A = this chain, B = another copy of it.
Amino acid sequence: MKQSYFEIHPWALATHKFNDTTNLVTESLTSIGNGYMGMRGNFEEGYSGKSLKGTYIAGVWFPDKTRVGWWKNGYPKYFGKVINAVDFISVKITIDGHAIDLATTPYEDYYQQLNMKNGILTRSYTVVLSDTKTRINFSRFLSIKTKELAVQQIEFEQIAGNSTITVESQLDGTITNQDTNYEETFWEPITSTIEQNALFLSLKTKANPFGTERFTVSALTDLQLTVNASPQLKKVNDLLLSDTREFSLQEGTNASLLKRTVIVTSRNIPDSEHQTTAKKILADTANNFADLEQEQTAAWLKRWATADIEINGDDAAQQSIRFNLFELFSTYYGEDSRLNIGPKGFTGEKYGGATYWDTEAYAVPFYLGVSEPKVTRNLLLYRYLQLPQAKHNAAEQGLAGALYPMVTFNGIESHNEWEITFEEIHRNGAMAYAIYNYTNYTGDDSYLAKEGLEVLVEISRFWADRVHYSKRKKQYMIHGVTGPNEYENNVNNNWYTNYLARWVLTYTKHAYETYGAQSSVDVSSKELAKWQDIIEHMYLPADSELGIFVQHDTFLDKDIRPVTSLPSKDLPLNQHWSWDKILRSPFIKQADVLQGIYFFGDQFSFEEKKRNFDFYEPLTVHESSLSPSIHSIIASEIGEYDKAIEMYNRTARLDLDNYNHDTDDGLHITSMTGTWLTIVQGFAGMRTWNGELSFAPFLPHNWSSYSFHINYRGRTLQVIVSSIVTIKLVVGETLPIKLYDKNIDLTDTIKVSLK
């Protein structure tokens, strides 16, 4: 089942072989990004084999008309599409008239490496023509220091014979998406100029009937060579510019090319200033690769210093955790509160939309641990800035308050399945949970007191309107929802949703009582009384005989049987069973009741956790990339270590080993946080309930040790787990912590035996 595309290496993805049949997967795996922009591992020189070209600019998208078989009242009018932006990495190469293309050109000594330490992607091979051999080394990265900057170096080493080499650097706006309807294109040309050694191309997204924001993206690129070659700059058409150089290379000599590109967008700079701004940024940039590389390495080093997880004894596990962290940071590092973490990041076009509840449920706890609080706060601010749109979404459904979208770019819901858009409303609770999580983790209540309270009150108003009172049962209920388990739709009283809604009302009421007086938010006493009534009379399905919470009203009437009862040919179910059969089966896509137990771990006993885990996990097919991590964490807590490790392996190398056979269209970015959570909250048992930091580590049997840093309330801690558990206070003041249920004041380093 598992297939490895790159050699096992603690800090790199590297391969000595190019496999043309798996190029789509390796393109995904060698994606790089700097939060501002990113791209798949497409080849600079072009490639005529199977390839998904992808260059993406964060926050730049296009609204695509909603297409459904039958329209239903309330459907969003458009679907937000991640769109391919100007291709600026292209440098076509010919050697003695032969166009270099790995699909057709004879070559030897191939090597590709994504260096995760500094985010530099390199690739080299030796072109073997009849009388000559030329080695080409490509390097590229997207600058962490200057977000608008992309740097490429191409080195030529003439090994045998003499050659005439032509390089043609391009800015190519004739791009489209592979999933377009009827070959539509998204861009129209604004400006294209050629001067000195620079190409400048400015493109704008086409007008759309939905009145959403249009984006201008401009690229300025220059080219420097270490050999003499007069530039031939050319405007091929309004969307395509090129800069061609020709030079000769004698046997034993070298040449090197440096291509620097600056990308500016209307998201940050008015269109009229694009050219001058880009020029200024380029002028302020070092013009040699070595200096630029050094800056880049230093910037990544700083990130790794706090974020790295070191694993000894299992290089595959080591590689996978670093790969997950690397791609996460490449996608988002919290610089821009208008951005979020798309499900595919900069690695593909699938799904569309930039923002899912994955961010609040999975990414927030990760960024809290590995980065400054500001990063997480920006994720919260993103939702605060979209509060008006969330109120619009609720109103579209005829409901009060705010409903955050399932999928969006601009805050307006843009997904078009009623069972998701209209019904998977638990997402609204995750928004509130993230506020709690930030406040509780950081101890900083300033967001909660102001922006957070505004968001919480509107979310609570939604829930208070969305519940209904069952006169028969004398309890509040929530009918017609889809829980996190998307293998059931339109169920009644999903335990997770009901529990979460009740918690939101409780938390909001408490926050309002604490911070309401000083805020602009106004909640009437009648409204508060209504919330209290719902809190006291919310229906939560449970089964006393089994001692479990019940996923939803009629779940236990199903033909309950474990996944192990299925023939293996039926798995994954989503590829083999018709949708109706999946829906009425007892099989669960991802944590549902257990998601609630994970979120509110301080509110359930060990026995409750164990009974629910032992009941639900055997029914779970984990066909969502978000599933294994939550199960691993709970399995760790209840001492089911083998299951915890099985689930870790399933989440950690999901893309590296192409576990679900779908890495070709991009990486599973948001679920990558799960790998980190699995180690830190799972294996190391870190908890932060009620402002108290605690650990209860165990060591997977085939690891000799693991260690990581975390940020917590102004401190940096290092945790090292081998036969000894070591906790170091690296930065900051004394901190009371709990280790294996023992209270300790952490002042320097403590060591205890592994339990």
Contacts and interface: CB of A to CB of B under 8 A. Distances in A.
B182 A479 contact: no
Interface stretch (A131-139, A326-334, A415-423, A691-699): A415-423
Protomer copies: 2
B67 A67 contact: yes
A472 interface: yes
Contacts of A397: 578, 580-581
A518 interface: no
Given A68-B68, A416-B69, A492-B554, A422 B580 contact: yes
Given A74-B578, A579-B73, A553 B556 contact: no
Contacts of A472: 556-557
Interface in A50-91: 66-70, 72-75, 79
Interface stretch (A231-239, A463-471, A587-595, A727-735): A463-471
Contact of A577 (B69, B73, B490, B553): B73
Interface in A549-571: 553-554, 556-560
A557 B67 contact: no
A182 to B, nearest CB: 7
A719 to B, nearest CB: 42
Given A67-B68, A182-B182, A580 B423 contact: yes
Given A468-B559, A470-B559, A471-B560, A578 B69 contact: no
B558 A468 contact: yes
- Which of A74, A397, A399, A557: most chain B Cβ within 10 A? A557
A147 B72 CA distance: 40
A700 interface: no
A601 interface: no
A576 to B, nearest CB: 8
Contacts of A574: 73
B473 A557 contact: yes
Contacts of A418: 579-580
Given A479-B584, A559-B470, A584-B468, A417 B70 contact: yes
A553 B491 CA distance: 11
A278 B571 CA distance: 57
A75 B579 CA distance: 9
A558 B67 contact: no
Contacts of A294: none
A363 B493 CA distance: 40
A398 interface: yes
A511 interface: no
- Which of A72, A415, A493: most chain B Cβ within 10 A? A72
Given A423-B580, A490-B490, A417 B554 contact: no
A478 to B, nearest CB: 9
A463 to B, nearest CB: 14
A246 interface: no
Contact of A559 (B70, B469, B577): B469
Interface in A222-243: none
Nearest to A545: B472
Contacts of A423: 580
Contact of A490 (B67, B68, B468, B489): B489
A581 B396 CA distance: 11
A312 B117 CA distance: 93
A480 interface: yes
Nearest to A395: B578
Given A578-B396, A581-B398, A554 B557 contact: no
Contacts of A79: 69
A575 interface: yes
Interface string A518-557: 0000000000000000000000000000000000011011
B74 A579 contact: yes
A49 B427 CA distance: 49
A73 B581 CA distance: 10
Contact of A554 (B72, B554, B560): B554
Contacts of A554: 479, 492-493, 553-554
Contacts of A419: 490
A583 interface: yes
A354 interface: no
- Which of A75, A468, A575: most chain B Cβ within 10 A? A468
B72 A69 contact: no
Contacts of A553: 553-554, 557
Given A396-B578, A480-B583, 16 more contacts: A67-B68, A68-B68, A69-B79, A72-B579, A73-B579, A397-B580, A398-B578, A418-B579, A419-B490, A468-B559, A477-B557, A479-B558, A480-B584, A492-B554, A553-B557, A554-B554
26 contacts: A67-B67, A67-B68, A67-B69, A68-B69, A70-B416, A72-B578, A73-B575, A73-B576, A73-B577, A73-B578, A73-B579, A73-B582, A74-B578, A397-B581, A398-B578, A422-B580, A469-B559, A470-B557, A472-B557, A477-B557, A479-B558, A480-B580, A480-B584, A492-B554, A553-B554, A553-B557
Interface of A: 66-70, 72-75, 79, 182, 396-399, 415-419, 422-423, 468-473, 477, 479-480, 489-490, 492-493, 553-554, 556-560, 574-584
